[in-house]
Amino acid sequence: MFLRIINWRWALAFIAIIIVSVSIFYSNFLAKKIAAEEKIKIEQWVEALKDINDSNISETHLSSRVLTENSKDIPMIAVTESGEILDYRNLDSLRALKDTGYLREKIKEFASLNEPVIWQNPHNLKQNNLVYYGESLLLKQIRYFPIIQLLVVALFIIITLIAIGARNKSTQNQVWAGMAKETAHQLGTPISSLQGWVELLKSQKEGESIAVEMDKDVERLKLVSDRFSKIGSTPQLEETEVVSQIKNMVEYLRRRAPEKVLFHVHTNEDEIKAFINPPLFDWVIENLLKNALDAMEGKGEIKIDIHGEAARVLIDVSDTGKGILKKNIPYVFKPGFSTKKRGWGLGLSLSKRIIEQYHKGEIFVKHSDSHGTTFRILLRK
C-alpha cells in the first residue's frame, strides 16, 4: 500500500525538494559568511582611511593596500552626519553626475541592507562620518543562486514529466492501434464465412426471410470491423452532410430503443457540412446515444441539437437521465472508467480519440445534473 502511494512522481518531487532545501540552506550560510567578511573589509577600509588622514601616524604601504583591495567590489558611499557626500566607490559614475538623486537613492538602499560604519572625523572629533555599503556582485549571485536552481529543477521536472507523458501516450496509442487492427483482422474471417452462408440461404426459399435478417447483422459486423480498421490507421476525412448522417444513426437506434424513449433532432439549417470520417463519426454518435439510453433506464427523452456556425459545427446530445456525479466528470473520458456493472469504459474514451485526434475537434461534458446530461461535439465546418 505504501509503495502504491509513494510512486515515482512523489519520489521525484521529494528529491527535488531535498536538493533545493539543501541548496538554499548552504547558499544562505555562504551569503552570511560573505556578508560578515564584507563588513570586516569596510571596517578595515575605514580604519586605513583614518590612519592615512591622521597626521600623527605615518602612512604605510599596508594602509594604502587595504584602501585599494577592500574597495574593489563592494559599492559604498561616505557621507558626513549632515548628509554631505564625501566619496563613493563601485557605482555608476556617469549616472551619479547626471542624476543628483541617484546617490541618495543608493544611500537608502544600502541603509536597508547594512548598518553604516562610523568613521570619526580626525579634524573634528565631535563629528562622525558614515560609510554606507551594499552587496558585492558575488554576494548577490550567492543570494539569487537558490532561486535560479529552483527554476532549473522545476524546468527539469516539467520536461521529464512531459517526456514521460508523451512516451506513455505514444505507448497507449500503439496499444490502441494494435488492438484495433487485431480486432478487425479477427472479425474478417467469420464475416466472410457468414456472407457465404447468407448467400446460400438466399438461394433457398425456406431460408430467404432468415437470410434477409442475417444479412443485416452481417452488414453490421462489417461496419464494426471497418470502424476498428480505421481506428488502427489514419482515417481519411471527407466533406459530409452532418444532419442526415446523424438522423440515420438516430433512426437506427430508435428502432432498437424502448418505446417510452423519445428522440428529437433540431437543427438551424437543413444541410450542414463538415469534414468527418462517416463510419467513425457514426460510432461516436452511437456511443453517446447508447450512454443516454443506459442513463434513462428505458424512459425519457434524447435531444440532438445541430447548430452550424461560420467555421464550426456544434452538436449537443442531451438526455433526461440520472446525470453524472460532479466528481466523476473529469474521468468520464478516461479508458476503463465506467459506472456500469458490465461496462468496459472504452466507449467515451474511443469517442474522444476519434473526435480530437482524428477530426481535430472537441468533445466534452457541457452540463450534467440529476435531471440529465449534455455532451457537446465541436467540428471544423
Give pLDDT tens digits for 313-327: 999 999 999 999 999
Q: Is the pLDDT of residue 185 over 60?
A: no
Q: Is residue 167 part of a domain?
A: yes
Q: Is residue 226 part of a domain?
A: no
Does residue 77 sit in the same domain as residue 19? Answer: yes
Q: Is the pLDDT of residue 234 over 90?
A: no
Does residue 216 sit in the same domain as residue 262? Answer: no
Q: What's residue 4's pLDDT?
A: 46
* Between 84 and 228, the higher pLDDT residue: 84
What single letter denotes the amino acid at residue 355?
A: I
Q: What's residue 189's pLDDT?
A: 61
> In the listed set 220, 250, 276, which residue is the last one of a domain according to the structure?
220
What whole-number distance in Å separates Cα of residue 26 and Cα of residue 33? 11
Cα distances (Å, whole numbers) of residue 49 to 37, 70, 107, 296, 340: 18, 11, 20, 92, 87
What whole-number distance in Å separates Cα of residue 101 and Cα of residue 220? 85
The number of C-alpha atoms within 13 Å of 313 and in the hemisphere containing its C-beta is 25
Ramachandran area for residue 6 (φ above 0: left; ψ -120 to 50: alpha; else beta): beta
Determine how many CB atoms are found less than 10 A away from the CB of residue 53: 14
Q: Is residue 228 part of a domain?
A: no
Q: Is the pLDDT of residue 140 over 50?
A: yes
Q: What's residue 2's pLDDT?
A: 44
* Between 349 and 376, the higher pLDDT residue: 376
Q: Is the pLDDT of residue 178 over 70?
A: no
**pLDDT band for position 244 (cuts 50, 70, 90):** very high
Q: Is the pLDDT of residue 59 over 60?
A: no
**pLDDT band for position 360 (cuts 50, 70, 90):** very high
Does residue 276 sit in the same domain as residue 351? Answer: yes
What pairing do the DSSP bridges indicate for beta strands 261-267 and 300-308? parallel
Does residue 190 sit in the same domain as residue 301? Answer: no
> In the listed set 135, 158, 188, which residue is the last one of a domain according to the structure?
135
Q: What's residue 302's pLDDT?
A: 96
* CATH number (domain holding residue 303): 3.30.565.10
Name, of 12-16, 131-135, 225-229, the range with top average pLDDT.
131-135
Cα distances (Å, whole numbers) of residue 258 to 216, 300, 303, 318: 20, 10, 15, 17
Does residue 131 sit in the same domain as residue 215? Answer: no
> In the listed set 197, 220, 243, which residue is the last one of a domain according to the structure?
220
Q: What's the domain range around 355?
A: 235-380
What whole-number distance in Å separates Cα of residue 231 and Cα of residue 283? 11
**Cell numbers found for residue 121:** 572625523
Q: What's residue 5's pLDDT?
A: 44
User: Of 178-192, 199-213, 273-287, which range is least confident?
Assistant: 178-192
- Is this model's pTM higher than 0.75 or not? no
**Phi, psi of 345, rounded to the nearest 5 degrees:** 70, 35
Q: Is residue 105 part of a domain?
A: yes
Q: What's residue 3's pLDDT?
A: 46
Question: How many domains, in total, are found in the chain?
Answer: 3
Q: What's residue 186's pLDDT?
A: 61
Q: Which of 135, 151, 178 has the alpha carbon at shortest distance from 24?
A: 151
Q: What's residue 260's pLDDT?
A: 92
Q: What's residue 243's pLDDT?
A: 95
Does residue 162 sit in the same domain as residue 212? Answer: yes
CB burial of residue 143 (10 Å; 0-12, 13-18, 19+):
middle
Average pLDDT over residues 228-237: 72
What whole-number distance in Å separates Cα of residue 2 and Cα of residue 35? 45
